[in-house]
């Protein structure tokens, strides 16, 4: 099968999955007790009956479920994510406002996790019985075992409360809204450190263990022995021959983990008041703001599906054996 055909097949599966995501989530949100009128009333310290009835009829919440679902699917099909009940703003606008913050957090933490994870994994693989290996194993287990919100709070206590070097949350100091862009960027980077490290901590553990295991496996294989036998320098054997071949699992896992990174970002954003999609998702769920929740779910499943397809393609390029299948 050619690459084009495989791509087409993957995209087809992706579309079916998207429809399933929409229908399933819409159903789940609608069968949960309570609706956005309740949450708006809660937010307002109460409301009269007419006001609530008006909210329900305005948003079509008094319609049968099938009608609501049908309306939603037809608007999604027209690529219209609808209008947020809670914020009175188009969902697309809300998502696009928050997207840069989440992308920054997700990608910076992934780059950090992959870079440091690779480094630690390779170091540990070079000397399997060394002290370094022990430390890497310990840190990996710790990072992997600790819940991400706990790591975040721990970092806040250490670096904000006890030793105040970082801000407690947010993305940029509001005092800088009139400052030049480079000052704003520096400030954003400064705010980014703790949330990035927190989110990276889980994957750092995963990637370093994965690299170590796969390096050790590759180092024991015949062609590495051959490379060594023909007199290649150890560094060349290590980085040119072994490392490249042990990258496969890392790419696969990093790609598949993408959805987990996004859900991890929800927690990290909440802990650090990071104004991204995660905090928006959380608020919308608590507010029963169906169009916004659905918009975020639709959007993030789209991203996950696209990333998975790209991972698939990348693997085929790294490893000729998969390409041949």
Partner 1 sequence: MKRIFKTVATSVATAALLATSTMAEEPKKGGTLTMAIQQTPRHLNPAVQSGTATGQPGTQLFASLLRYDEGWNPQPFLAETWEVSADGLSVTINLVKGATFHDGAPITSEDVAFSIDTVKANHPFKSMFAPVENVETPDANTAILKLSKPHPALLLAMSSQLLSIIPKHVYGDGQDPKSHPANSEGVVGSGPFKLVEFKRGEHVILERYENYFMEGLPYLDRIVMRILPDESTRAIALESGELQMSGFESNPRNIVRLKKNDALHVSSEGYAAIGPVNWLAFNTKGEKTSDPKVRQAIAYAVDREFINKALNLGTAPTALTGIHPGSPFYDATVEAYDLDIDKANALLDEAGYAKGSDGMRFALSVDYGWPAMKPYAEYMKPQLKKIGIDVAVRSSADFPTWAKRISTWDFDMTMDNVFNWGDPVIGVHRTYSSDNIKEGVIWSNTQQYSNARVDELMEMAGATNDANKRKELYAEFQQIVANELPLYPIFASPYHTVSSTSVGNAPDSVWGTSSPLDRVYLK
Q: Tell me which residues touch partner 1 (CB under 8 A).
A: 32-36, 38-52, 86-89, 94, 97-98, 153, 156, 160-161, 164, 167-171, 174-175, 177, 270-271, 273, 275, 279-280, 283, 285-288
Our CB check for partner 1 shows the closer of 32 and 322 to be 32
Our CB check for partner 1 shows the closer of 144 and 149 to be 149
- Minimum distance, C-beta of residue 148 to partner 1, in the bound complex (Å): 15
Summary count for the chain: helices (H), strands (E)? 15, 0
Would you say 122 and 304 are in contact if contact means Cβ atoms under 8 Å apart? Answer: no
Q: Specify the residue for token string 């998502």.
A: 95
Our CB check for partner 1 shows the closer of 43 and 234 to be 43
Residue 73 carries which DSSP code?
H
Our CB check for partner 1 shows the closer of 79 and 174 to be 174
Rounded CA gap, 305 and 17, in Å?
9
Exposure letters 199-231 (e unless 16+ CB within 10 A, then b)? bbbbbbbbbbbbbbebbbebbeeeebeebbeee
Q: Specify the residue for token string 């022990």.
A: 134
Would you say 271 and 198 are in contact if contact means Cβ atoms under 8 Å apart? Answer: yes
At residue 34, the 3 state secondary structure works out as coil
- Minimum distance, C-beta of residue 48 to partner 1, in the bound complex (Å): 5
Our CB check for partner 1 shows the closer of 79 and 161 to be 161
- Minimum distance, C-beta of residue 275 to partner 1, in the bound complex (Å): 4
- Minimum distance, C-beta of residue 26 to partner 1, in the bound complex (Å): 16
Would you say 262 and 106 are in contact if contact means Cβ atoms under 8 Å apart? Answer: yes
- Minimum distance, C-beta of residue 37 to partner 1, in the bound complex (Å): 8
- Minimum distance, C-beta of residue 184 to partner 1, in the bound complex (Å): 13
Task: Please classify residue 246 by burial: count the beta carbons closer than 10 Å to its beta carbon, then call 0-12 exposed, 13-18 middle and 19+ buried.
Answer: buried
Residue 83 carries which DSSP code?
B
Our CB check for partner 1 shows the closer of 36 and 243 to be 36
Our CB check for partner 1 shows the closer of 255 and 295 to be 295
- Minimum distance, C-beta of residue 142 to partner 1, in the bound complex (Å): 23
Rounded CA gap, 58 and 63, in Å?
10
């Amino acid at each position: 099968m050619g690459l084009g055909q495989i791509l087409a097949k993957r995209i087809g599966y992706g579309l079916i999955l998207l429809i399933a995501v929409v229908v399933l989530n819409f159903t789940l949100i609608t069968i949960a007790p309570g609706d956005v009128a309740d949450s708006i009333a809660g937010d307002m310290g109460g409301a009269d009956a007419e006001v609530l009835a008006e909210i329900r009829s305005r948003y079509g919440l008094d319609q049968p479920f099938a009608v609501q679902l049908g309306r939603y699917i037809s608007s999604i099909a027209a690529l219209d994510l609808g209008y947020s009940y809670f914020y009175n703003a188009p969902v697309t606008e809300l998502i696009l406002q928050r997207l840069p913050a989440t992308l920054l957090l997700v990608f910076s933490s992934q780059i950090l996790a992959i870079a440091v994870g690779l480094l630690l994994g390779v170091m540990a693989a070079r000397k399997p019985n060394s002290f370094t290996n022990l430390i890497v194993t310990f840190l990996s287990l710790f990072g992997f075992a600790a819940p991400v919100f706990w790591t975040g709070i721990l970092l806040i206590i250490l670096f904000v409360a006890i030793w105040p070097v970082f801000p407690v949350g947010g993305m940029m100091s509001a005092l800088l809204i009139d400052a030049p862009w480079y000052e704003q960027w520096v400030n954003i980077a400064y705010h980014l450190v703790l949330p990035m490290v927190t989110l990276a901590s889980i994957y750092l553990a995963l990637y370093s263990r994965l690299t170590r295991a796969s390096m050790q496996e590759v180092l024991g294989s015949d062609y590495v022995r051959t490379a060594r036998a023909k007199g290649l320098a150890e560094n060349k054997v290590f980085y040119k021959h072994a490392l490249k071949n042990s990258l496969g699992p890392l790419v696969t896992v990093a790609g598949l983990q993408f959805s987990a990174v996004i859900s991890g970002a929800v927690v990290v954003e909440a802990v650090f008041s990071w104004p991204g999609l995660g905090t928006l998702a959380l608020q919308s769920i608590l507010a029963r703001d169906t169009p916004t929740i659905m918009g975020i779910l639709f959007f993030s499943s789209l991203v996950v599906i696209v990333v998975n397809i790209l991972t698939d393609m990348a693997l085929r390029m790294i490893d000729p054996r998969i390409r041949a299948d």
